[in-house]
A and B are shown apart, each in its own frame.
Chain A
């Protein structure tokens, strides 16, 4: 089955700097890669997703890149703000079916 690895497990950045979180997946059949932000005790919130037919997608300060050949995808957050502090999860799935999540990254933005 699919296996998703996520790095780093924790990330501290200064406010205004960029943050990058990387994930790799194992199943070449996976074609949908969402990123979620989760605050303590709350549901994961979809922040951006990418499908395998594109290599990059951007939404304001957030971007995701996908390298299908290498089977890895990354989340980029620019101009980080304190409210970006949370746990971020990547995931992979086939056609939007069951998601396999990475282990998560705790992002701390220091002001």
Chain B
């Protein structure tokens, strides 16, 4: 199946700093990628839909100025957590819809553990 790679897999940052997480589709082009956040023992909550070449679409309650999303190419979307605070500590995971024979199948990246201290 299609491969989605996410980097870094874990990161620790100081409160007030910014952190960038990358999501890449390795063997297919993804015009749309999705960013989710998952707190411990909870489900995946969609944060935003990343659209190549245009602005991301944010879900209700997600601050677009805090969670900056850039989808500058067909294989890369980035999520930047700005002015991170301890409550932003979470598992962030991206996904992309596979093209071609994969049809509507959605593939997930490995996820990124963010700890803000």
What residues make up the interface of A, taking CB atoms closer than 8 Å to B? Answer: 32, 34, 36, 41-46, 49, 51, 89, 93, 95-104
Q: CB distance A96 to B111 under 8 Å?
A: no
Q: CB distance B44 to A89 under 8 Å?
A: yes
How many Å from the CB of B32 to the closest CB on chain A? 7
**Cα distance A46–B34 when bound, in Å?**
16
Interchain CB contact (< 8 A) of B95 among A41, A42, A89, A99:
A99
Please name all residues of chain A whose beta carbon is closer than 8 Å to the beta carbon of B108 when the two chains form the complex.
36, 43-45
Whether, in the assembled complex, B54 has its beta carbon less than 8 Å from a beta carbon of chain A, the answer is no
Please name all residues of chain A whose beta carbon is closer than 8 Å to the beta carbon of B19 when the two chains form the complex.
none
Q: How many residue pairs bridge A and B at CB < 8 Å?
A: 54
Main SS at interface, chain B: strand
Q: What residue in chain A is nearest B97 (Cβ atoms)?
A: A96
Q: CB distance B109 to A98 under 8 Å?
A: no
Instruction: Report, nearest first, the 7 A-B pairs whose CB atoms are least far apart.
Output: A96-B104, A43-B108, A101-B43, A101-B44, A103-B43, A96-B97, A32-B104
Whether, in the assembled complex, B84 has its beta carbon less than 8 Å from a beta carbon of chain A, the answer is no
Known: A41-B113, A96-B104, A100-B46. 16 other contacts (CB 8 A): A34-B105, A36-B108, A42-B110, A42-B111, A43-B108, A44-B108, A46-B1, A49-B105, A93-B104, A96-B97, A98-B46, A98-B49, A101-B43, A101-B44, A103-B42, A104-B42
